[in-house]
Amino acid sequence: MVELSRQWLKVNEPQQLKRVNAVSKLPGQDKPRPRLYTPPKEIQAPPPAASAPIKTTRVMPMSYFAGFSAAVLVCGVLYLWRSFYPVGDPALLLLVVIGLLIWRGTYRRAVARRITWRRAILRRDSWLFDFFQGKLLAHVAGIVAAIAATITLADFALTASLNEGLVALALCLSTGFVLAFFARWATLHTHRDLVLVVAAPLAAGLMGLIGTGLLLSLGWYVETAPAEADAATLVEGIAQAQLVLPPRDHIVAWALGVPRSLETAGWVFAKQSQTFSFSPLGLIFLLLYNALVSFSLTRFVVDTVTSAYEPKDN
């Protein structure tokens, strides 16, 4: 009898263990009976948390209308100066407007550039961070640019011919559109405060070179040489050139004689080059004068935009 019981247990023991481990419900129970043995599960690493999306702010692109408006303002101020300065000295207020616009535009770009350098080089907890703000040098750069460009533009507006005036008008309008184009491109690659710091030199430099070539070619091949080019000496030529300007006796009139003397020297040397050997000298002086005029025009346009334009996040 005992042997029969042992044989029965050997045959039926695996089936009994399976039944014990199986999950089953007893009558009257809502929850299943827990297993007597639960095999261990593989330990899995928790899934990585989803990283928050990086928020990128785009700068609102500069409109082409802003560049066009600045060019119209520049041409309008120069035309008013040409019309009213021969009448009386109150027109000198227009030179103040020109100087302030050029000074403010140059100052704002210089400050933005130096602030960027300061943040990249100096620590915020250093006393040098508050000391080197770059405002003094920005003011000096703005004043120098304003004086040089204002005097040059004032002389050019008074003495320019019709063809030179049309070239200047086209140059200012083109500079406004090119500045808007470079500013829209810079918004995709630079920070908001550096949009015009990048775009303004590109537009002014490119259009300044183009304008220099146009004005030099116009004066050399199309326009007739002025009367002072036939002067026997340079002093006589400069004295004759001063008579073209309205007769005034103040510091502005004396300052206007500087660019007028530069152009006159170019024509006198160019005329004398037919006899003497220093022929390139007259062309060099004329190149310097036309480059000064062209870059002053483009600088006036970009500084007018810079003085009023505030980049905004889109």
pLDDT per residue of the chain (314 residues) written in tens, 0 to 9: 556 566 555 555 555 544 544 444 445 555 555 555 555 555 555 666 555 555 555 656 677 888 899 999 999 999 999 999 888 888 899 999 999 999 999 999 988 888 887 777 777 777 777 777 778 888 999 999 999 999 999 999 999 999 999 999 999 999 999 999 999 888 888 887 788 889 999 999 999 999 999 999 998 888 888 888 777 778 888 888 888 888 877 888 888 888 988 888 888 888 776 554 456 788 888 999 999 999 999 999 999 998 887 666 55
Q: Where are the alpha helices (DSSP H) in the chain?
A: 2-21, 64-84, 92-121, 127-131, 135-159, 162-186, 195-217, 234-242, 251-272, 279-308
Distances (CA, A) of 136 to 100, 133, 146, 307: 16, 8, 15, 18
Task: Look at residues 149, 99, 170 and name the one whose alpha carbon lies nearest to residue 292.
Answer: 149
What span, in angstroms and rounded, lies between the C-alpha atoms of 25 and 166? 100
State whether residue 313 is helix, strand or coil: strand
State whether residue 19 is helix, strand or coil: helix
- Judge residue 213's burial from the number of C-beta atoms within 10 Å of its C-beta, 0-12 exposed, 13-18 middle, 19 or more buried: middle
* DSSP structure class, residue 124: T
Tell if the pTM clears 0.85, that is, is over it.
no
